Chain A
């Protein structure tokens, strides 16, 4: 049997476990993304109009960003124990920074003359935010979401180390048994999921910007 056949064979004999792991992986990643968006977008918007606070906030999150994902997992372990919750916290933290920073830079990047003419025409701050600033910041914001989603999907494999489940289970199992096919049953779908997420957001961005791009 060659490698690919072995991978397929393992998948066929462990179908139930595989789909359960995939589901766990997706739930974990989506939940982490959702929480980062719900928290990160409003904070990003709020700090975009407050330069001082923004600088401090962004510097803090940028410096925390250098902590490796695995380290975060083990750092939250003593406080949150094992399983889904600590994994979710670590992944949310991971996704939060790109969402926050891109929301901030996207809003700050809106042409000042556009804001000036909107103000001069008598649009309220709220109207300017929702009709001008956010629509124009969407490309940057979505880029942040894209980066975060790829990072979260691939890092969710690490959740397996602290009992968070997901496709990482196959990788750790394969590693423990020195069995490459089992590792690949986890690794290949993770790579495909990350690629899929990347593509979906890229296509969305392309379609969003297409009408008004020069």
Chain B
């Protein structure tokens, strides 16, 4: 994971003139949204309703053809729903001028779609220029964004084809964040990137999300990716919303056989690998055990997954693992019993809190 020197405050543009800001909220509400393509007999999206709280990272998960991309594209009106309504905050998006709406929603896609004849600077500057920002402000913004996505400012003068796939996707992310939108739509952005870079990009997206508190709707068919990133997951099948909940809820209480199979609820080790230590600690409501002896100190970092935690428990023979972050701060302990409880019993809030 990499650390960035960017401070959170620098990345928001508060005090912006609001004359062309049509979106002021990061909350998304879909109500009975339906989309039917003439060439198919069943609707691509079938009476889907959900609400995404501002600042949440919500993953739309499902097999190909389940309607997740169609649903995403209705939020920035690349597709128009046949029925139902979509609100962002208090605004029905149908009532907003479509290009103004899109300029205030970040959009990143799998093929990145960078403009090959424009430098990285010009690519990132597209939306800020459409919004009429002055050159100096765009320059500052470009530098900040490149730093945020972990690229050196020397990239600004290069062209997309001179960058690797992973670097292009970083630029794609920077471009989506360019005008500081409240909402980010991401359509399988990391699917075409190699495994090592994908994991790196996922970590960085989480860091960016934590820093900027954007509402992110993230489409993927990759279950591991969904569990790694999501605050909440929406599971879709044949255009219908099957389940909407936190990763823990979905694994522990899958709505039906389809969900259970999709997320591998029957495979214990797989199930464990979907959670990180942090989430178990949260599930335990930070029950802190202060009675550990320093002699038998086996520690684990909060972002490790629970399969690793289990192996460490087995290897060390210790009864509990102390959760210590890389700054040496203690976050509590987890025990074998906790793992057992996660898999077979219900934790009470906050992790199992239902919508």
Interface, chain A (partner B; CB < 8 A): 111, 113-124, 127, 132, 135-136, 211-214
Per-residue interface assignment for chain B, residues 102 to 126, with 1 indicating a CB less than 8 Å from any chain A CB and 0 otherwise: 1110010111111111100000001
B335 to chain A, nearest CB (A): 48
- With beta carbons under 8 angstroms apart, the residue of A113, A116, A121, A213 that contacts B126 is A121
Q: Which of A120, A124, A127 lies at the interface centre, i.e. has the most chain B CB atoms within 10 A of its CB?
A: A120
Whether a CB of chain A sits under 8 angstroms from the CB of B130 is: yes
| CB-CB under 8 A for A212 and B161, given A121-B107, A122-B103 | yes
Contact, CB under 8 Å: B111 / A132? no
A60 to chain B, nearest CB (A): 29
In the complex, chain B residues whose CB is within 8 Å of the CB of A115: 113
- With beta carbons under 8 angstroms apart, the residue of B78, B116, B162 that contacts A116 is B78
Listed by A's residue number, 23 A-B pairs whose Cβ atoms lie within 8 Å are: A111-B116, A113-B111, A115-B113, A116-B113, A117-B107, A118-B113, A118-B126, A119-B102, A120-B76, A120-B78, A120-B109, A121-B103, A121-B130, A122-B101, A122-B102, A122-B103, A123-B130, A124-B99, A127-B130, A136-B115, A136-B117, A212-B118, A212-B161
Whether a CB of chain A sits under 8 angstroms from the CB of B309 is: no
| CB-CB under 8 A for A119 and B78, given A113-B109, A211-B159 | yes
- With beta carbons under 8 angstroms apart, the residue of A118, A122, A127, A136 that contacts B116 is A136
Contact, CB under 8 Å: A212 / B117? yes
A204 to chain B, nearest CB (A): 15
Given contacts A117-B112, A118-B115, 8 further A-B contacts (CB under 8 A): A111-B111, A117-B113, A117-B172, A120-B78, A121-B102, A121-B107, A122-B102, A123-B126
Contact, CB under 8 Å: A135 / B117? yes
Whether a CB of chain A sits under 8 angstroms from the CB of B146 is: no
Whether a CB of chain A sits under 8 angstroms from the CB of B283 is: no
Whether a CB of chain A sits under 8 angstroms from the CB of B248 is: no
| Count of residues in B whose CB is under 8 Å from the partner chain | 30
In the complex, chain B residues whose CB is within 8 Å of the CB of A135: 117
Give residues of chain B (149-188) contacting chain A, Cβ–Cβ below 8 Å: 159-162, 172, 175, 185
Contact, CB under 8 Å: A214 / B112? no
Whether a CB of chain A sits under 8 angstroms from the CB of B303 is: no
| CB-CB under 8 A for A114 and B113, given A120-B78, A121-B102, A121-B103 | yes
Whether a CB of chain A sits under 8 angstroms from the CB of B13 is: no
Residue of A nearest to B172 (CB): A117
Whether a CB of chain A sits under 8 angstroms from the CB of B127 is: yes
Whether a CB of chain A sits under 8 angstroms from the CB of B100 is: yes
- With beta carbons under 8 angstroms apart, the residue of B78, B130, B159 that contacts A212 is B159
Contact, CB under 8 Å: A122 / B109? no
In the complex, chain A residues whose CB is within 8 Å of the CB of B175: 121
Contact, CB under 8 Å: B113 / A111? yes
Contact, CB under 8 Å: B159 / A122? no
In the complex, chain B residues whose CB is within 8 Å of the CB of A114: 113-116
In the complex, chain A residues whose CB is within 8 Å of the CB of B107: 117, 120-121
- With beta carbons under 8 angstroms apart, the residue of A113, A116, A122, A213 that contacts B99 is A122
Contact, CB under 8 Å: B109 / A117? yes
Contact, CB under 8 Å: B100 / A116? no
In the complex, chain A residues whose CB is within 8 Å of the CB of B109: 113, 116-117, 120
- The distance in angstroms between the C-alpha atoms of A84 and B350, with both chains bound, is 87
